[in-house]
Structure 1
Amino acid sequence: MMPDEYLVECNIDDDDEEYDDDVKKIHPSPPPPPQFSSTSSLTQGEIRDPCGLNKHLKIEFSDVLAEPVSTHSYDRVWVYSSIGFESARLWGYRCLTALCVLPLSCLCGGLFALLACMHIWCVMPCIQVFHSCLPCVRSLWMSVVNIFIAPFCTSVARCCSGIYVVFSKE
Structure 2
Amino acid sequence: MDTLMKEDESEDVEIDLGDSSDSEYSENGEEPEMLWRAPPALEEEENIHTSTLVEISDTKPLINARDPRGVNDCLKVTFEDVIAEPVSVRSGDRVWIWSHALFEVSRVWIYRIVTVLFAIPMSVISGLLFAVLSCIHIWMVSPCIQCALIGTRWLQSLWNIVLSVIVRPLFTSAGKCCGGFSVHLAKE
TM-score, scaled relative to structure 2: 0.49
5 Å-filtered alignment, 1:1-170, equals: 36=6, 39-41=9-11, 46-135=64-153
Letter in 1 for 2:116: A
Q: Tell me, in whole angstroms, the C-alpha distance in 1 between the residues paired with 2:156 and 2:80.
A: 64
Asked if 1 retains the 8 angstrom alpha-carbon contact of 2:7 and 2:64, the reply is no
Q: Extract unaligned runs of 5+ from structure 2.
A: 12-40, 44-60, 158-188
Deviation track 1:59-113 (CA, whole Å, cap 9, x = no partner) reads: 1101110001111011121111111111111001000100111101101111111
Q: Secondary structure at the match of 2:100?
A: helix
Q: Tell me, in whole angstroms, the C-alpha distance in 1 between the residues paired with 2:144 and 2:4.
A: 52
- Greater displacement, 98-107 / 126-135: 126-135
Shift of 1:37: 8.6
Specify whether residues 103 and 119 from structure 1 end up closer, same or farther in structure 2 by C-alpha distance, changes over 3 A only. same
Q: Extract unaligned runs of 5+ from structure 1.
A: 1-32, 140-170
Q: Tell me, in whole angstroms, the C-alpha distance in 2 between the residues paired with 1:87 and 1:47.
A: 22
TM-score, scaled relative to structure 1: 0.54
Higher-Rg structure is 1
Shift of 1:115: 1.2
Q: Tell me, in whole angstroms, the C-alpha distance in 2 between the residues paired with 1:102 and 1:122.
A: 29
Q: Tell me, in whole angstroms, the C-alpha distance in 1 between the residues paired with 2:10 and 2:138.
A: 41
Shift of 1:49: 1.8
Matched residues, percent identical?
44
The equivalent of 2:18 in structure 1 is none
Shift of 1:129: 1.5
Q: Tell me, in whole angstroms, the C-alpha distance in 2 between the residues paired with 1:135 and 1:35.
A: 56
Deviation track 1:96-153 (CA, whole Å, cap 9, x = no partner) reads: 10011110110111111111101110001110121123356789xxxxxxxxxxxxxx
Specify whether residues 51 and 135 from structure 1 end up closer, same or farther in structure 2 by C-alpha distance, changes over 3 A only. closer
Specify whether residues 109 and 118 from structure 1 end up closer, same or farther in structure 2 by C-alpha distance, changes over 3 A only. same
- Higher helix fraction (1 or 2): 1
Letter in 2 for 1:104: M
Q: Tell me, in whole angstroms, the C-alpha distance in 1 between the residues paired with 2:5 and 2:105.
A: 19
Root mean square deviation of aligned Cα: 3.3
Number of residues paired by the alignment?
Answer: 109
Q: Secondary structure at the match of 2:96?
A: helix
Q: Secondary structure at the match of 1:36?
A: helix
